[in-house]
Chains A and B, each alone.
Chain A
Amino acid sequence: MADGNGKHKTYATNFYKTDIDNVSFLGNPHIDNIATTLMAMGNELWTNRKRIHVLESVMRDKGVTADLIEQYEPTDEERARWAKEREVLVERLYSHFARVDEYEFSSEWKDK
């Protein structure tokens, strides 16, 4: 996929992949995965907080109150779209737990 769809002029070469997908730092790959997930959740948390801050600022300028937010009922289209987004979020957060060694070690690291 990363080589594109054949419609465009490309310049990318082959390359030597790191061994990052095979590495465990914390004694057990699943502990690594949990820590990775926690880091990803931090990112997600901030991303959403930032969006809420932006929304609150925009709405305040437009005269929308917090009570209107609390009372809001999503449309069917919104429910479906938000459900799809949650699926993506779940994949982002929890796909690490499904990590398996996809690649052979590709670098000759002598020190570990």
Chain B
Amino acid sequence: MSELFNRRSAMGFTGGAAGLAYSLMGSHSAVAANLGSADIEPRGTDGILERLPNLDLESYDEFSTSTRVWINTDLNRSAERRAVQILRENGLNPREEMPFEKAVSLLADDPVISFRNHAWQRLQMHMWTELRREFYNNYDAYMSEMEAADNKGPGVLEMSPGIEPEYTKHEIHMQPGGYTGDEFAGHLYHYGTNNFYNGQNYQDERHVSLANAVPVPADGKVMRILDAGSSCGQQVVALKKRFPDAEVWGVDIGAPMVRYSHMRAVDMGVDVNFRHALSEETGFPDGYFDIVTSYLLHHEITEEATYQTIRETERILRPGGVYFPVDVYTNPGRRRIDGTGMRHIRDWMTHRWNHERWWYEYQRADFFGEMERAGMNVIEGGPKTQVSSQVSMNGGIANVIGIKPA
């Protein structure tokens, strides 16, 4: 059984750096700055993104992004070329079905494939480490900044400490502490995942694009919207931008994530609300929302949590309401999973070495079937979306929609 880690005794940086006041506070923001003297923006903003607080860290981010693009393209191609060679050398057709264990046992120790996995992990760890160094070296200042926002509006922040189930406490993507176990999980996720998008989401472009793709109910009424598993709140802000008159909420089980999301929204002056809650148990009344969205939620939760989330979504949608869950396999074509050697190696690299803990559970979940069993009408040819770093999919691919019958 996994060892439950206690941050008090085991994590990261030590010594007296924490507690230093940040020396260069001040607002040069181009957007509303509502955090007063607690606001940490030593280098101002670039559009809606608060610039990283020093030039070196910004350069680290740039280089990590460029390196990640190289890994995702050249190095991945080399690794896959090696996989094809090895499978053929062993008399196997890479495009035919084969047992997972056989594919991994043949491919796992190849130097090119191994280096690809090494590079992926270490690059990510470099970024997490450098970001944490910044936040913990200025611990008091960053914590004070969050505290200054906790009770400020225009939106509200609702916290429920202690509700986190065990399955939510893993270090997905190797993010130190995961989504629940580090005070700066929101900071880390926001800045650490910028390079996941190959440099194409610094202004929340992907979230704005997804928000603009969200289908509206047939009667056109959109009074309340929920983004389930809202992470650092980018999609919630983007939804508010598209639906300025709607009451928009985000829920996430990562308390530090929703805390950061709220702080960011307060700083931007955006009237959105965040609740620390599970997507499978949101606490909202029956029929409360006109639209429920999620982005990259389901592959980070268990199969059972996915089913519960779908049922909970059906409960909180009003008749005629729309469910728009965007994830890696929420498009009908890509949901047809094959068992070829190439497929195994890609999934294995994602699950094992990107620490996507629930990847296989998500894959085998009967996602569309559960939507139907929950009572939704399932429309497989929904709006086109792009997911994560799939930069090559210009225009995206059709995503599923669930409609609660009127």
Q: CB within 8 Å of A: which of B103-124?
A: 104, 108-109, 111, 114-115, 117-119, 121-123
A43 cross-chain contacts in B, Cβ below 8 A: 59-60, 63-64, 67, 126
A39-B119, A42-B63 are contacts. A1–B143 as well, Cβ < 8 Å? no
> Quick one: CB contact mask for A38-74 with B, threshold 8 Å, 1 for yes?
0110110011001100100000000000000000000
A: number of interface residues (CB 8 Å): 42
**What is the CB-to-nearest-CB distance from A39 to chain B, in angstroms, rounded to a whole number?**
5
Q: Which residues of A contact B140 (CB under 8 A)?
A: 5, 7-8
Would you call A12 and B7 a contact (CB within 8 A)? yes
| A1 touching B3 in the complex, CB below 8 Å, given contacts A13-B169, A13-B180, A46-B62 | no
- The smallest C-beta distance from B180 to any residue of chain A, in angstroms, reads 4
Closest chain-A Cβ to B43's Cβ sits at a distance in Å of: 12
Query: A23 CA to B352 CA in the complex, in Å?
Result: 11
Q: Mark B121-136, 1 if CB is under 8 A from A, else 0.
A: 1110110000000001
A39 touches B67 (CB 8 A): yes
Check A14 against B4 for contact (C-beta < 8 Å): yes
Size of B's binding interface in residues, CB under 8 A = 73
- With A15-B4, A16-B5 in contact, is A26–B114 under 8 Å at CB? yes
Interface of A is mostly: loop
B residues 166-195 touching A (CB-CB < 8 Å): 166, 169-171, 174, 177-178, 180-183, 185
Within 80-101 of B, Cβ neighbours of A (below 8 Å) are at 100-101
A18 to B118, CA, bound (A): 15
Stretch in B8-16, B22-30, B232-240 with 4+ CB within 8 Å of A: B8-16
15 contacts between A and B (CB under 8 A): A1-B18, A2-B13, A9-B150, A12-B183, A14-B7, A16-B166, A17-B171, A25-B115, A36-B118, A43-B67, A47-B60, A106-B3, A108-B2, A111-B101, A111-B352
**B residues at A contact (CB < 8 Å):** 1-8, 10-15, 18-19, 55-56, 58-60, 62-64, 66-67, 100-101, 104, 108-109, 111, 114-115, 117-119, 121-123, 125-126, 136, 139-140, 143-144, 147, 150, 159, 161, 164, 166, 169-171, 174, 177-178, 180-183, 185, 255-256, 259, 276, 348, 351-352, 355, 357
